[in-house]
């Protein structure tokens, strides 16, 4: 059906009918709670405060775990091994060209 025909039909069928007033729609999610509207959503900071979490500063976590490797070379070998395993995984994931 052409769009113009659909528009005409909807105008004809709704002519003379009073439109109901705007109704508040409450969305339900599993568990019986209603979904919040975007204007009612809490910020990350508000949610963290409710849960008793304090912000973590990058400066506080820099250097943590530095003692996990005995030397920079050992850490670099560790990182190289990670990249090598990722390359192997990509090779294994390639489709067979048999």
CA 81 to chain CA centroid, Å, is 30
- pLDDT tens profile 7-24: 555 455 445 555 555 455
Asked if residue 78 belongs to a domain, the reply is yes
60 assigned to some structural domain: no
Report pTM: 0.36
In a domain, 23, yes or no: no
Range of 80's domain?
69-98
List pLDDT tens digits, range 16-68: 555 555 455 555 556 655 566 667 899 998 999 999 998 888 888 888 887 88
Residue 80 has pLDDT above 90, yes or no: yes
Asked if residue 77 belongs to a domain, the reply is yes
Residue 7 lies in a domain: no
Number of domains making up the chain:
1
Q: Give me the pLDDT at residue 23, please.
A: 53
Q: 13 lies in a domain?
A: no
Q: Cβ-count burial of 75 within 10 angstroms (0-12 exposed, 13-18 middle, 19+ buried)?
A: middle
Residues in the chain: 98
């Amino acid at each position: 059906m052409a769009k113009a025909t659909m528009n005409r039909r909807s105008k004809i069928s709704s002519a003379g009918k009073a439109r109901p007033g705007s109704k508040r729609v409450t969305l339900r999610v599993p568990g019986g709670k209603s979904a919040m509207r975007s204007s009612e959503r809490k910020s990350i900071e508000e949610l963290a405060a409710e849960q008793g979490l304090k912000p973590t500063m990058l400066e506080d976590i820099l250097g943590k775990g530095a003692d996990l490797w005995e030397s920079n070379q050992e850490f670099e070998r560790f990182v190289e091994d990670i990249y090598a395993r990722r390359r192997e995984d990509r090779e294994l994931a390639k489709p067979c060209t048999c």
